[in-house]
A and B are shown apart, each in its own frame.
Chain A
Amino acid sequence: MHELGIIVHITRTLQEAAKENQLTQIGSVTLEIGEVSGIVPEFLTDCWEYYRKKFPLIEDSELKIETLPAVTFCENCEKTYPTVQFGKQCPYCQSGSTYLLKGNECNIKEIEAC
């Protein structure tokens, strides 16, 4: 359960943010999850439902997930293309010299709190 570990880390970051900004309650947490990050949003939500109840700061908090599309860059023809559809090989020039530009993110974007 990779997702539980992520939730534990998110909770720690939220506790720090709450301390810094003198917050007592977090109403929602918005995450940005890359399409090829290997994180399953449904599992993440399940882990959140279990874990949030342990902390008064987040016990009524909703987890919102925004998916970021994955984009790969081809070093050979310098074009970008959608990673999920075409994978490691460039659909324009068939080169394998490509790297992931974005899509591996797991960020806390913002929180609603008081």
Chain B
Amino acid sequence: MGDMKIIEVKQSVFANNDADAEKLRSRLKEEKTFLLNVMSSPGSGKTSTLVHTINELGREFRIGVMEADIDSDVDAVTIAEKTTAKTIQLHTGGMCHLDADMTRQGLKELGTGEIDLAILENVGNLVCPAEFDTGASKNVMILSVPEGHDKPLKYPLIFTVCDALIINKIDVLPYFDFDMEKVMEYAHRRNPNLKIFPISAKTGEGIKEWCDWLAKEVKAWNR
């Protein structure tokens, strides 16, 4: 090894990903494809919420879904069986999140030319996906009642980076000490602009309000 010299880099580790994400976002804007990044804990009901969402909006928009998981294709199979959306499975190869470059590759496989609304179901995790901008038009997070109303205090970053929060499984509210007012207060403390939609992916309650908001955002983006 020769003489080492010190080189100042002074760059955020996320700078490259942020730049890739910005590039992807402006390309999608030009192509009139809205990318929705869906994040949550494992088991919060992402896939069943998506099935409802696709069936509600499927007549209005051409929808494509990318299911990201560390392994398996169970979610992609569920979406393909229960909806008419084009679905692909992405494997992160052990990583706990998707970054902008992986998202770009997924979109290429999905083919954005004939898609108005591309939905990315990120890996179930409240920490890592929040750190990596995927290039999405909007970010949504699903929190379910059994997880508890204290999550905005424990995982602040994800509540900060999201545009909308879906509170799922409200049909089981009577059985849990989940305080709806408190969760809204905690979440708004982190992000005053956060839109909050209490829903039940089991009974269908609240799905329409959530889908109305999403449809409005998709139209505004693809205009």
Mark contacts of B94-132 with chain A using CB atoms, 8 A cut-off: 1 yes-contact digit, 0 otherwise: 111101000000000000000000000000000110011
Q: Is the interface of A mostly helix, strand, loop or mixed?
A: mixed
Please report the number of residue pairs spanning A and B whose Cβ atoms sit closer than 8 angstroms: 86
Residue contact B12 to A110, C-beta cutoff 8 Å:
no
Choose from B1, B132, B157 the contact partner of A5 (Cβ within 8 Å). B132
Residue contact B13 to A107, C-beta cutoff 8 Å:
yes
Residue contact B97 to A2, C-beta cutoff 8 Å:
yes
Distance between Cα atoms of A28 and B4 in the complex (Å): 9
The answer to the question of B6 belonging to the interface, with a C-beta cut-off of 8 Å to chain A, is: yes
Distance between Cα atoms of A27 and B6 in the complex (Å): 10
Distance of B129 from chain A, by nearest CB (Å): 9
Choose from A6, A38, A88 the contact partner of B189 (Cβ within 8 Å). A88
The answer to the question of B5 belonging to the interface, with a C-beta cut-off of 8 Å to chain A, is: yes
Contacts of A88 in B (CB 8 A): 153, 189
Residue contact A2 to B131, C-beta cutoff 8 Å:
yes
CB neighbors of B among A1-51 (8 A): 1-2, 4-6, 8-10, 12-13, 16-17, 21, 23, 25, 27-28, 31, 38
Residues of A at the B interface (CB closer than 8 Å) are 1-2, 4-6, 8-10, 12-13, 16-17, 21, 23, 25, 27-28, 31, 38, 60, 88, 96, 105-114
A-B residue pairs in contact (CB < 8 Å), sample of 21: A5-B95, A5-B99, A5-B132, A8-B95, A10-B13, A17-B7, A17-B9, A25-B1, A88-B189, A105-B12, A107-B13, A109-B9, A109-B10, A110-B8, A110-B10, A111-B7, A111-B9, A112-B4, A112-B5, A113-B4, A114-B4
